[in-house]
Chain A
Amino acid sequence: TQLLEQSPQFLSIQEGENLTVYCNSSSVFSSLQWYRQEPGEGPVLLVTVVTGGEVKKLKRLTFQFGDARKDSSLHITAAQPGDTGLYLCALRGRGGADGLTFGKGTHLIIQP
Chain B
Amino acid sequence: SQTIHQWPATLVQPVGSPLSLECTVEGTSNPNLYWYRQAAGRGLQLLFYSVGIGQISSEVPQNLSASRPQDRQFILSSKKLLLSDSGFYLCAWSAQANTEAFFGQGTRLTVV
Residues of B with C-beta under 8 A to A90: 44, 101
Among B45, B103, B106, which residue has its beta carbon within 8 angstroms of that of A44? Answer: B103
Residues of A with C-beta under 8 A to B104: 42
Q: How many chain B residues touch the partner (CB < 8 A)?
A: 26
Minimum Cβ distance to chain A for residue B86 (Å): 15
Residues 73 to 104 of chain B near chain A (Cβ within 8 Å)? 90, 92, 94, 96, 99-104
A–B pairs, 12, beta carbons within 8 Å: A33-B100, A41-B105, A41-B106, A42-B105, A43-B101, A44-B103, A97-B49, A97-B96, A99-B32, A100-B34, A100-B46, A103-B43
| Interface presence of A112 (CB below 8 A) | no
Q: Is the interface of B mostly helix, strand, loop or mixed?
A: strand
Instruction: Please judge, given known A-B contacts A45-B101, A97-B96, whether A104 and B41 are in contact too, CB under 8 Å.
Output: yes
Residues of B with C-beta under 8 A to A104: 41-43
Asked if A97 contacts B51 (CB within 8 A), the reply is yes
| Interface presence of A22 (CB below 8 A) | no
Asked if B103 contacts A99 (CB within 8 A), the reply is no
Q: Of all chain B residues, which has the CB nearest A96?
A: B99
| Interface presence of A88 (CB below 8 A) | yes
Residues of B with C-beta under 8 A to A48: 99-100
Asked if B101 contacts A100 (CB within 8 A), the reply is yes
Residues of A with C-beta under 8 A to B102: 45
Q: Of all chain A residues, which has the CB nearest B6?
A: A42
Asked if B46 contacts A43 (CB within 8 A), the reply is no
Among B42, B49, B100, B106, which residue has its beta carbon within 8 angstroms of that of A99? Answer: B49
| Interface presence of A92 (CB below 8 A) | yes
Minimum Cβ distance to chain A for residue B62 (Å): 15
How far apart are the CA atoms of A99 and B92 in the complex, in Å?
9
| 11 additional contacts (CB under 8 A) given A88-B44, A99-B59, A101-B46 | A33-B99, A33-B100, A42-B104, A43-B90, A43-B103, A44-B103, A90-B44, A97-B96, A98-B57, A99-B49, A99-B101
Residues 58 to 112 of chain A near chain B (Cβ within 8 Å)? 88, 90, 92-93, 96-105
Minimum Cβ distance to chain A for residue B56 (Å): 12
Residues of B with C-beta under 8 A to A100: 34, 44, 46, 101
